[in-house]
């Protein structure tokens, strides 16, 4: 039997959709993140749903529409400090709490997001 992906383990599309919506509503009100995100996060959330789907081993929706993610390169136009990476991760932790995503799949997802977030840091703290 094929091993279940993290995408399936967290509950698939309905759970990921709720997670991403909740995450961006947190981003919208985080003082450290407001300055670098667009006011309308509809398109950002749509792309993030596609990306996280494939990041967690689900269908390759992001690459189908946008090509290789090149995440670090796509984040270079934005000033990303250690403080902003922590803010991003805390918005995600809070979103997981809010939708009551629990258990080993949550822990593994959070670990992978933490490594990726650290990799996005492109500016020293001022
Ligand atoms: C896009 C900030 C970490 C995935 C963006 C955008 C900003 C941003 C400002 C552009 C939004 C827009 O104009 O639509 C940050 C900050 C991070 C962070 C401050 C802190 C470390 C991450 C992580 C991931 C991620 C960890 C994935 C696990 C994406 C994706 C996009 C994006 C998929 C859309 C790229 C595209 O335009 O195709 N991020 N991000 N980001 N971010 Fe992040």
ipTM, 2 dp? 0.98
Task: Kindly state if the Cβ of 49 falls inside 6 Å of ligand 1.
Answer: no
Classify 28 as helix, strand or coil: coil
Output b/e per residue, 17-44; b: 16+ Cβ within 10 A. ebbbbbbbebbeeeebbeeeeeeebeee
CATH of the domain at 64: 1.10.490.10
pLDDT tens, per residue, the chain with 126 residues: 578 999 999 999 999 999 999 999 999 999 999 999 999 999 999 999 999 999 999 999 999 999 999 999 999 999 999 999 999 999 999 999 999 999 999 999 999 999 999 999 999 987
Tell me whether residue 27 is in a domain.
yes
Q: Where in the sequence is the domain holding 52, given as residue range(s)?
A: 6-120
Q: How many CB atoms lie within 10 A of CB 68?
A: 9
Q: How many domains does the chain have?
A: 1
Does residue 125 fall inside a structural domain? Answer: no
Question: Is position 59 within any domain?
Answer: yes
> Whose CA is closest to atom 38 on ligand 1?
47
Give domain status of residue 78, yes or no: yes
- 75 C-alpha to ligand 1 centroid (Å): 6
Instruction: Let me know how long the chain is.
Output: 126
126 is a domain residue:
no
């Amino acid at each position: 039997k094929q091993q279940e992906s993290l995408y399936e383990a967290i509950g698939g599309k309905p759970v990921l959709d709720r997670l991403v919506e909740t995450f961006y509503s947190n981003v919208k009100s985080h003082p450290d993140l407001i300055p670098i995100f667009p006011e309308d996060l509809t398109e950002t959330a749509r792309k993030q749903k596609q990306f996280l789907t494939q990041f967690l081993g689900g269908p390759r929706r992001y690459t189908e529409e946008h090509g290789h993610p090149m995440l670090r390169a796509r984040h270079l136009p934005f000033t990303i400090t250690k403080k902003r990476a922590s803010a991003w991760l805390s918005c995600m932790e809070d979103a997981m709490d809010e939708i009551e995503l629990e258990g080993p799949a949550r822990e593994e997802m959070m670990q992978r997001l933490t490594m990726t977030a650290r990799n996005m840091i492109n500016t020293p703290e001022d």
